[in-house]
Amino acid sequence: MSDDRGTRPDGAADPEAHGSAPPRLRPRPLDRPATDPGEQAAFGRPDGVDSSFAPPSSHLGSNGSLPTVPPPTAAVARAFGRPDRTPDGDPAGGLQRPPGASGDALRGGEQSAEQDPFWPGGSTGDPWRDPGTPVVAAPPPGDGDDPGEGPRPDGPRLSVREVLFGKRVQPRALALLGVLALVVGAAGGLIGHWTATAASALTSPGAVLSATEPARERPPGSVSEVASRVLPAVVSLEVTVGNQAGNGSGVVIDPAGYVLTNDHVVAPATGPGQGTIEALFSDGSRVPATVVGADPMTDLAVVKVPVANPTVAAIGRSGELAVGDAVIAIGSPFGLAGTVTTGIVSAVDRPVRLDPEGSAGDAVIDAVQTDAAINPGNS
């Protein structure tokens, strides 16, 4: 086996093979196929030119130009040459002419320059064909925007600090925003004022109220004055016997706590059931009451309540009543304590048949008839 180290491709010894540097392998020659003579003559470099740069002056001809290239072969001329000319000398067409272009477009003169599809203004006036045309900086074609560029995404939003102190917005823009905010605030204030004014017109139509009369005096003997004096002396009596309950009214007639009422009000509590009686005063206090006497013939009864210093009603004389006198009825009709009704004396000494319940028969007494509203509970 032969060893290639230390030798060059041409067989000469490598001076670096025996030095300190490691041996290097040289590239092998490329396998180049043979070149066609016709292509070599058409596309190859001229004789004596080994690079793509301009040849030295030693390779130029006697007239200072490169040696001429021999004419192409028939096959190359048919493939890459111009088309055959028409009888009038114009080309019949070519790769650089659009279809349908006439021969007049290729003739010289103003007419051919105007009809030339490639140079409408004439090929002689085209700056791209004139080597002496000066270089002029021109803007890019169109408006400079990339037609293929899509919509740009929104940039990051600015904070208030960046707007005010980051110098990201022009002062004029900030001033404009301030003026706009003031205008919006003023408009909102005007609308609010107008709304408040319109709303106040609904509740205050501007009507003139007449002067009010002074409070009416309540002279002694009036209904309100009598009711205010007598109401503390009127009590409501609640009678409970087993699962049944009833109510009535009475009036305090003695400072010791004696209350005058009707016999039929307390009769259920004095029977075999032995019910309970409670007295309810106008101030809301509630105390127990006991029956101390009853007269079924006159339907009157007296109960006693343990109250110290109660308000006592003054008792008048029925014999002094006359038909037409004013009458005030105070009691607890249907359990409604403190009810006041008014009327007149309709008749005196009126015989009345008592209710058999709680009484000793069909007793008839002389009663005072009145038109004041009296209902069960304030009889």
Rounded to whole angstroms, the Cα distance separating 261 from 294 reads 9
Topology annotation, domain 223-370? Thrombin, subunit H (2.40.10)
Residues 224-237 as b or e (16 or more Cβ within 10 Å = b)? eebbeebbebbbbb
**Cα angle at 332 between 225 and 328, to 5 degrees?**
35
Burial of 374 (0-12, 13-18, 19+ CB in 10 A): middle
Write down the domain spans for the chain.
Answer: 68-120, 223-370
Closest CA to 331 of 192, 191, 212, 236: 236
Following DSSP, what letter does each residue of 42-96 receive, concatenated? HHSPPTT--SSSPPPGGGS-TTSSPPPPPPPPHHHHHHHSPPPBPTTS-B---TT
Q: What is the largest CA-CA distance in the chain?
A: 176
Instruction: Please report the pLDDT score of residue 344 as a whole number.
Output: 94
- Residues serving a catalytic function are 264, 299, 379
10-residue averages of pLDDT along the chain (379 residues) = 47 52 79 82 78 62 65 85 61 53 48 56 66 68 59 76 73 85 93 79 61 72 86 90 86 92 86 81 89 87 91 86 91 86 91 62 75 82
Strand partners, 276: 240
Report CA-CA distances (Å) from 61 to 40, 57, 58, 70.
Answer: 21, 9, 8, 15
Strand 364-370 relative to strand 234-241, pairing: unpaired
Q: What is the pTM of this model?
A: 0.43
Which residue's entry shows tokens 């990051």? Answer: 156
The string of DSSP codes covering 28-49 is PPP-PPPPPHHHHHHHSPPTT-
pLDDT reported for residue 17: 47
Contacts of residue 375, defined as CB under 8 A and 6 or more positions apart, other chains included, come to: 333, 334
CB atoms within 10 A of CB 310: 21
Closest CA to 336 of 193, 234, 212, 197: 234
CA distance 334 to 341: 14
The position carrying tokens 């080994």 is: 50
pLDDT at 250: 92
pLDDT of residue 44: 82
Structure tokens at 280: 């309810």
Residue by residue, DSSP assigns 314-364 as PP--GGG--TT-EEEEEE-GGG-TTEEEEEEEEEEEEEEEPPSTTSSSS-E
C-beta separation of 305 from 285 below 8 A: no
- Cross-sheet strand order for the sheet of 364-370: 326-331, 339-353, 364-370
Which H or E run contains 276? strand 276-280
Distance CA 21, CA 308 (A): 138
State the distance between the two ends of the chain, measured CA to CA, in whole angstroms: 153
